[in-house]
């Protein structure tokens, strides 16, 4: 209690400092302020360009889509006051509520048309350009300013929830075009229609939000939720823990020994997140003269990867709630439509640790290639201590199998740039992750098709895999839930076990302390975590 009292007193002092004098010379009431640790920086505030969780969290703070998600991940009306669904399950008619942008313009159905058009425009080069196709969107139109009609090619059980994802957010066409290539670069180059407005953004340090008085539900927010939310960019977990203990943070992520030392502290939580970390193997792109990348096309090299890594040991080393990957689909993402069994339990393990078999595959690879295999492992240096530890353990296990592995640590923004289309996938092997955008295996399966996936960084190209995914989404599986499920089970085996095109390593966990002085952070295993509804407890 003494420690909690000290923390609360420091927080009250910090909050009090934010209040100034009002027009009458009286002290203004202090804002209900919350300070959140952001383990990674914002990559982009353009929600069509962003690909990372921190950027998406920031976008959802200040921009609203047709729907938002509640704590359980269910869709609730936001910019859409209501909607109707046709009897055949193919046509949605959304009724846009009376809402406005932060420049005073009304939010209209045309803002959604422009936003969705921009998402799929090749000039935008969005890594999420395929999202409309994923959602089975066939067409969309603004019937009038307040009526937005969307037609699907086949019924989609996750479509409405998906409209809460940032890729589906609206955009004010006039504002975006006026800003041109400056759009979203600073807080003055953004427009807001969400519950908060971005009031400060200092890259590498913090980004801040305050309540939007023009939000359609502003009165509820003013009465119930935090008036100011500050995100502090702190990658180092020891520094973050010290800041929490000093009362400068309201939550902190833990790793390694910190977990054991703090597991009895009030507010400690341990959750399994939806993020799956895996090795992306560059096996089909321009290899830039890289001998390591050229060797990745060898099937025995990749099979050696698959069996060389002790995933259970890596999870123990991370000690943050992470678990060993059983495949590319994480635990808790989706359940069998007939039996209700979790996908991971249904599929079983499609990876294994077998160091002797890994060495056998490596020896076969060397015999075929005529040389030993040396390559670079690209990973993020500013994505948390756990990622650095994981990269080092992966290096150890692969070298035990016979490989020579040179670690190539880069800040996340640079890592993504090297892996992306702009640099023509300039890497050998990369430790990366994917967080599910919705609760269905398709959110992972779509990543690795050979066509229309800007996230297929490794250049995987398998007619067998493509056919299974296509059948699930557009063939017999599109109207037969059991057939669709079976297609995805078979596709995962093809991708991971047969072709070893991606090497799943671990499903991220999150050990943290959340101050008893706040509540309302909403963790979504298959969507963007929400910090929109934080309550400052008196």
Residues in the chain: 538
Count Cβ neighbours within 10 Å for each residue of 34-62 and write b for 16 or more, e otherwise: bbbbbbbbbbbbbbbbbbbbbbbbbbbbb
- The tens digit of pLDDT for each residue in 138-169 reads 999 999 999 999 999 988 888 999 999 999 99
pLDDT at 21 over 60: no
Rounded to an integer, the average pLDDT of 260-284 is 92
pLDDT recorded at residue 1: 38
- 86 within domain boundaries: yes
pLDDT recorded at residue 11: 37
> If you count DSSP H runs as helices and E runs as strands, how many of each does the chain have, helices first?
19, 19
425 lies in the same domain as 450: yes
301 lies in the same domain as 329: yes
Q: How far apart are CA 387 and CA 270, in angstroms?
A: 18
Three-state SS sequence of 35-49: EEEECCCCCCCCCCC
What separation in angstroms does the CA of 493 have from each of 327, 407, 464, 501? 9, 29, 11, 11
Closest CA to 532 of 191, 205, 115, 59: 59
Three-state DSSP state, 261: helix
pLDDT at 244 over 50: yes
pLDDT at 20 over 70: no
- The tens digit of pLDDT for each residue in 185-217 reads 999 999 999 999 999 999 989 999 999 999 999
pTM: 0.80
How many CB atoms are located within 10 Å of the residue 177 CB? Answer: 11
525 lies in the same domain as 450: no
pLDDT recorded at residue 287: 55
- For the record, the structure tokens of 154 come out as 């086949």
* Residue whose token pair is 């359940």: 335
What separation in angstroms does the CA of 255 have from each of 14, 223, 235, 330, 388? 27, 36, 11, 20, 12
pLDDT recorded at residue 351: 97
Count Cβ neighbours within 10 Å for each residue of 225-242 and write b for 16 or more, e otherwise: bbbbbbbbbbbebeebbe
Closest CA to 196 of 167, 155, 238, 225: 225
- The tens digit of pLDDT for each residue in 277-288 reads 999 999 865 555
CA atoms within 13 A on the CB side of 329: 29
* Residue whose token pair is 């959802």: 60
Contacts of 208 (CB under 8 A, 6+ apart): 198, 199, 200, 201, 228, 229, 230, 231
Rounded to an integer, the average pLDDT of 48-77 is 95
Rounded to an integer, the average pLDDT of 259-280 is 93
Q: How far apart are CA 39 and CA 235, in angstroms?
A: 5
What separation in angstroms does the CA of 378 have from each of 107, 312, 390, 411, 426? 42, 22, 12, 10, 10
Residue 379 belongs to domain spanning: 271-510
User: For residues 292 and 375, is the Cβ–Cβ distance under 8 A?
Assistant: yes
Kindly indicate the confidence band of residue 22, based on its pLDDT and cuts at 50, 70 and 90.
very low
- 184 within domain boundaries: yes
175 lies in the same domain as 324: no
Q: What kind and span of H or E run contains 268?
A: strand 268-281
177 lies in the same domain as 135: yes
pLDDT at 251 over 90: yes
520 lies in the same domain as 490: no
- 258 within domain boundaries: no
- 265 within domain boundaries: no
User: For residues 140 and 151, is the Cβ–Cβ distance under 8 A?
Assistant: yes
Rounded to an integer, the average pLDDT of 20-47 is 78
User: DSSP label at 205?
Assistant: T
396 lies in the same domain as 487: yes
304 lies in the same domain as 246: no
Q: How far apart are CA 454 and CA 124, in angstroms?
A: 12
Angle, helix 385-401 to helix 355-369, in steps of 10 degrees: 70
CA angle centred on 281, ends 275 and 283, rounded to 5°: 145
95 lies in the same domain as 201: yes
Phi/psi of residue 315, each to 5°?
A: -60, -40
- 261 within domain boundaries: no
The number of domains in the chain is 2
How many CB atoms are located within 10 Å of the residue 105 CB? Answer: 15
Percentage of residues in the chain having pLDDT higher than 70:
92
- For the record, the structure tokens of 391 come out as 């990269």
Q: Among 62-66, 315-319, 436-440, which is the least confidently predicted range? A: 436-440
- 178 within domain boundaries: yes
**CATH number for the domain harbouring residue 238:** 3.40.190.10
pLDDT recorded at residue 457: 85
Rounded to an integer, the average pLDDT of 20-29 is 51
What separation in angstroms does the CA of 118 have from each of 45, 348, 369, 489? 15, 40, 45, 34
**CATH number for the domain harbouring residue 467:** 3.10.105.10
Question: What DSSP letter does each residue of 97-165 carry, written as one string?
Answer: -S-B-TTSPBP-HHHHHHHHHHHH-TTT--TTTTHHHHTTEEEEEEEETTEEEEEESS--TTHHHHTTS
Rounded to an integer, the average pLDDT of 430-443 is 91
88 lies in the same domain as 221: yes
Percentage of residues in the chain having pLDDT higher than 90:
75
Beta-bridge mates of residue 406: 376
Average pLDDT of the chain is 90
- 292 within domain boundaries: yes
Q: How far apart are CA 149 and CA 168, in angstroms?
A: 14
231 lies in the same domain as 298: no
- The tens digit of pLDDT for each residue in 455-475 reads 788 889 999 999 999 999 888
Phi/psi of residue 144, each to 5°?
A: -155, -175
495 lies in the same domain as 524: no
- 64 within domain boundaries: yes
């Amino acid at each position: 209690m003494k420690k909690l009292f000290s923390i609360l007193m420091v927080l009250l002092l910090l909050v009090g400092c934010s209040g100034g004098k009002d027009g009458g010379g009286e002290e203004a009431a202090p804002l209900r302020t919350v300070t959140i640790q952001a383990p990674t920086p914002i990559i982009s505030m353009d929600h069509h360009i962003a690909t990372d969780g921190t950027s998406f969290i920031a976008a959802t703070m200040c921009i609203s889509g047709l729907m938002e998600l509640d704590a359980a991940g269910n869709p609730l009306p936001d910019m859409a006051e209501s909607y109707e669904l046709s009897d055949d399950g193919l046509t949605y008619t959304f009724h846009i509520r009376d809402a406005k942008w932060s420049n005073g313009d009304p939010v209209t159905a045309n803002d959604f048309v422009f936003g969705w058009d921009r998402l799929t425009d090749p000039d935008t080069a969005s890594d999420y350009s395929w999202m409309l196709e994923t959602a089975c969107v066939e067409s969309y139109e603004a019937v009038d300013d307040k009526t937005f009609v969307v037609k699907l090619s086949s019924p989609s059980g996750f479509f409405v929830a998906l409209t809460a994802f940032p890729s589906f957010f609206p955009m004010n066409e006039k504002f975006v075009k006026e800003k041109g290539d400056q759009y979203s670069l600073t807080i003055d180059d953004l427009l807001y229609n969400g519950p908060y407005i971005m009031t400060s953004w200092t890259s590498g340090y913090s980004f801040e939000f305050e309540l939007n008085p023009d939000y359609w539900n502003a009165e509820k927010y003013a009465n119930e939720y935090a008036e100011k939310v500050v995100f502090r960019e702190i990658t180092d977990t020891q520094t973050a823990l010290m800041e929490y203990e000093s009362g400068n943070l309201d939550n902190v992520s833990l790793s390694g020994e910190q977990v054991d030392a703090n597991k009895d502290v009030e507010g400690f939580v341990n959750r399994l997140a939806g993020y799956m970390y895996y090795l992306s193997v560059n096996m089909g792109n321009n290899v830039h003269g890289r001998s390591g990348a050229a060797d990745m096309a060898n099937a025995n090299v990749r099979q050696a990867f698959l069996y060389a890594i002790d995933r259970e040991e890596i999870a123990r080393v991370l000690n943050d709630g992470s678990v060993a990957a059983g495949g590319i689909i994480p635990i808790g993402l989706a359940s069998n439509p007939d039996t209700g069994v979790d996908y991971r339990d249904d599929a079983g393990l499609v990876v294994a640790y077998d160091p002797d078999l890994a060495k056998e595959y490596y020896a076969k690879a060397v015999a075929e290639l005529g040389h030993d295999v040396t390559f670079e492992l690209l990973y993020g240096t500013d994505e948390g201590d756990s990622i650095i530890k994981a990269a080092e353990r992966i290096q150890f296990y692969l070298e035990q199998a016979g490989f020579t592995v040179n670690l190539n640590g880069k800040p996340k923004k640079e890592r993504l740039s090297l892996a992306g289309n702009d640099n023509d996938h300039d890497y050998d092997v990369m430790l990366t992750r994917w967080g599910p955008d919705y609760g269905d295996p398709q959110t992972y399966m779509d990543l690795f098709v050979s066509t229309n996936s800007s996230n297929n960084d490794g250049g995987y190209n398998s007619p067998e895999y493509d056919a299974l995914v296509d059948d699930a989404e557009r063939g017999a599986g599109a109207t037969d839930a059991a057939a669709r499920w079976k297609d995805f089970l078979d596709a995962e085996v093809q991708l991971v076990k047969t072709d070893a095109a991606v090497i799943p390593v671990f499903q991220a966990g999150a050990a943290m302390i959340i101050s008893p002085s706040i509540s309302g952070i909403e963790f979504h295993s298959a969507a963007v975590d929400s910090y929109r509804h934080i309550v400052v407890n008196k």
